């Protein structure tokens, strides 16, 4: 009797699930299937949590029924997982590795402080307003100007993903890294950055001779340009004596934090790369998928365009993107459906000390806890029998307005108690881009109908990117909305 009591109360190690090929079977599964391999393991077992071994790494996979308990688990941290994912692909140096390991109080404090900086920078409305309007300014003047001219001059073709990456990442990058004169003002930098970020899995190979030279060149180019930028900024600062402007900028504050924790120049370059790898790809992938789905479903596109045209007409030349959830619910619903449908990645943490999940399961020190999101985002009990279909309407109420309850079921922004600090900026950037694109152009697939790409298995973190890029023709629309201004006025955070 006493023994049964003890068994119930003593946390147990989650049951282990082995693969057909010992030691490397799960590694091969992941290499072939990407994050969907983890989801498929979840669907194969009824256990709420189970353990797998990938070579030397032990991971506990946590299924949706236990994700609510994750924020309560102690002794977890993100840094060591980031290190596992990015150490080789970003070529991180000694300093960043020791900081990300978070095995002393100083580095753990750094992680907490840098998270606080992110939240303070990207959540308040006054900052969002600055970013949304500034990024739109870059997008509108640089990238749209070019496409506009060429579209008027007799048709312009673009590759959707490449163009959206260039447009959004340049806009966000310029707004954080010194405007048009910073690294993101150079199209060559952005092209190398894209090559580099889109090939993280290949750059993760254990030896450089296994990696295509083109990728190594792109990585080198990006690193050198960031180093040069930091150096030039430092020289400018010394020459002008104006230290305040640089140090008060967001990037200046992140750098100051790195420096107080002992970063050398390479350490700061590493950290900037980590930031770029975290900030850009998700919003680019989500926006790209949104356009793919709009093009693949002409009926949806017509409806979305109609609500947008009406909204812009009523806005009298100044569109407030914060009002779009009310004025363009179908467009927002499409955005959320993209996050659900393509939000099949996994979120995780490193376990610093033996700890428990749901008071029942023992998570061992040195292992990882991983929560694949697809089992939740495709759960028929949560989303209904058509969970496997792309249906933006599931985010709308019967009266056509956005359904907040449905939106809150999404888990793409975090499940471990902290949420992505860029979530508000992401949706507003995407909406501003959509307003610009849909107002100015008719986008038509080159072969008459649009092929929706499948998801790439090579995305290491965040939303999967489309497996291939699609070229579309851009024709300038005759519309009433020339010179429309994008604003972010609202004091609400409605998204």
Q: Residues in the site for ligand HEM, rule: CB under 6 A?
A: 78, 115, 118, 122, 278-279, 282-283, 286, 347, 412-414, 416, 418, 420-422, 425-426, 463
Q: How far is the CB of 18 from ligand HEM (least distance, A)?
A: 28
Q: How far is the CB of 282 from ligand HEM (least distance, A)?
A: 3
Contact (Cβ atoms closer than 8 angstroms) between residue 172 and residue 432: no
Q: How far is the CB of 26 from ligand HEM (least distance, A)?
A: 22
Extract the tokens encoding 261.
């924790």
Q: How far is the CB of 358 from ligand HEM (least distance, A)?
A: 19
Cα-Cα-Cα-Cα dihedral of 272, 345, 203, 175, to 10°?
A: -30
Report the residue closest to ligand HEM, judged by CB: 422
Burial 164-176 (b: 16+ CB within 10 A, else e): bbbbbbbbbbbbb
Q: How far is the CB of 8 from ligand HEM (least distance, A)?
A: 31
Q: How far is the CB of 427 from ligand HEM (least distance, A)?
A: 7
> At which residue do the structure tokens 């579209």 appear?
151
Closest CA to 63 of 45, 82, 85, 84: 45
If the CB atoms of residues 422 and 481 are measured against ligand HEM, the closer one turns out to be 422
If the CB atoms of residues 19 and 127 are measured against ligand HEM, the closer one turns out to be 127
Q: How far is the CB of 85 from ligand HEM (least distance, A)?
A: 12
If the CB atoms of residues 82 and 151 are measured against ligand HEM, the closer one turns out to be 82
Collapsing DSSP states into helix, strand and coil, what is residue 123?
A: coil
CA-to-CA distance for 238 and 251, rounded, in angstroms?
18
Q: How far is the CB of 212 from ligand HEM (least distance, A)?
A: 28
Closest CA to 36 of 425, 344, 400: 344
If the CB atoms of residues 156 and 422 are measured against ligand HEM, the closer one turns out to be 422
CA-to-CA distance for 474 and 163, rounded, in angstroms?
12
Q: How far is the CB of 70 from ligand HEM (least distance, A)?
A: 10
Extract the tokens encoding 65.
């029924």
Q: What is the DSSP letter of 144?
A: I
If the CB atoms of residues 229 and 345 are measured against ligand HEM, the closer one turns out to be 345
Extract the tokens encoding 481.
């909305």
Q: How far is the CB of 322 from ligand HEM (least distance, A)?
A: 16
Q: What is the DSSP letter of 418?
A: -
Phi, psi angles (nearest 5°) of residue 328: -130, 60
Distance from chain centroid for Cα 95: 25
If the CB atoms of residues 283 and 433 are measured against ligand HEM, the closer one turns out to be 283
Sheet bearing 471-476, strands edge to edge: 156-159, 471-476, 441-445
CA-to-CA distance for 421 and 122, rounded, in angstroms?
6
CA-to-CA distance for 273 and 90, rounded, in angstroms?
7
If the CB atoms of residues 196 and 416 are measured against ligand HEM, the closer one turns out to be 416
Kindly tell me the burial class for residue 134, based on how many C-beta atoms sit within 10 Å of its own C-beta (0-12, 13-18, 19 or more). middle
Collapsing DSSP states into helix, strand and coil, what is residue 273?
A: helix
If the CB atoms of residues 14 and 421 are measured against ligand HEM, the closer one turns out to be 421
Q: Give how far Cα 264 sits from Cα of 48, 94, 102, 114, Å.
A: 44, 10, 18, 17
If the CB atoms of residues 110 and 474 are measured against ligand HEM, the closer one turns out to be 110
If the CB atoms of residues 137 and 414 are measured against ligand HEM, the closer one turns out to be 414
If the CB atoms of residues 42 and 211 are measured against ligand HEM, the closer one turns out to be 42
CA-to-CA distance for 287 and 471, rounded, in angstroms?
16
How is 340-364 classified by DSSP, letter by letter? HHH---EEEEEE-S-EEETTTEEE-
Q: How far is the CB of 332 from ligand HEM (least distance, A)?
A: 13
């Amino acid at each position: 009797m006493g023994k049964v009591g003890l068994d119930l109360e003593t946390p147990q190690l989650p049951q282990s699930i082995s693969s057909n090929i010992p030691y490397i079977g799960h590694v091969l599964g992941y290499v072939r299937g990407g994050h969907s391999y983890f989801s498929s393991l979840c669907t194969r077992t009824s256990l709420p949590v189970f353990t797998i071994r990938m070579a030397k790494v032990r991971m506990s996979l946590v299924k949706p029924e236990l994700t609510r308990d994750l924020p309560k688990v102690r002794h977890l941290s993100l840094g060591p997982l980031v290190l596992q994912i990015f150490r080789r692909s970003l070529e991180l140096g000694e300093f960043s590795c020791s900081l990300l390991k978070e095995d002393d109080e100083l580095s753990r404090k750094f992680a907490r402080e840098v998270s606080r900086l992110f939240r303070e920078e990207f959540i308040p409305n006054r900052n969002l307003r600055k970013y949304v309007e500034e990024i739109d300014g870059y997008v509108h003047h640089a990238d749209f100007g070019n496409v506009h001219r060429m579209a008027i001059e007799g048709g312009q073709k673009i590759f959707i993903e490449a163009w959206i990456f260039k447009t959004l990442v340049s806009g966000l990058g310029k707004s954080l890294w010194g405007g048009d004169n910073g690294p993101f003002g150079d199209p060559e930098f952005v092209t190398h950055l894209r090559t580099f970020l889109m090939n993280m899995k290949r750059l993760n190979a254990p030896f450089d001779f296994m990696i295509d030279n083109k990728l190594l060149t792109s990585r080198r180019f990006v690193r050198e340009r960031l180093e040069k930028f930091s150096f030039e900024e430092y020289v400018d600062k010394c020459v002008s004596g104006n230290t305040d402007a640089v140090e008060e900028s967001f990037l200046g504050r992140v750098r100051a934090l790195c420096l107080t924790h002992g970063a050398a120049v390479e350490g700061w370059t590493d950290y900037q790369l980590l930031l770029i790898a975290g900030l850009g790809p998700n919003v680019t992938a989500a926006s790209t998928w949104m356009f793919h789905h709009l093009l693949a479903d002409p009926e949806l596109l017509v409806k979305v365009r109609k609500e947008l045209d009406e909204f812009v007409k009523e806005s009298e030349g100044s569109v407030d993107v914060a009002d779009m959830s009310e004025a363009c619910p179908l467009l927002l619903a499409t955005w959320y459906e993209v996050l659900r449908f393509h939000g099949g990645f996994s979120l995780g943490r490193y376990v610093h000390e033996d700890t428990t999940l749901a008071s029942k399961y023992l998570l061992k020190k040195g292992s990882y806890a991983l929560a694949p999101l697809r089992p939740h985002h495709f759960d028929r009990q949560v989303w209904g029998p058509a969970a496997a279909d792309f249906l933006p309407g599931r985010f709308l109420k019967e009266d056509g307005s956005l359904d907040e309850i449905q939106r809150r079921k999404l888990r793409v922004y975090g499940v471990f108690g902290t949420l992505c600090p860029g979530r508000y900026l992401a949706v507003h950037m995407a909406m501003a881009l959509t307003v610009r694109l849909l107002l100015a152009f008719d986008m038509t697939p080159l072969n008459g109908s649009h092929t929706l790409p499948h998801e790439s298995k090579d995305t290491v973190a965040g939303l999967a990117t489309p497996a291939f890029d699609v070229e579309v023709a851009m024709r300038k629309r005759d519309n009433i909305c020339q010179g429309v201004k994008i604003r972010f006025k609202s004091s609400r955070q409605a998204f």
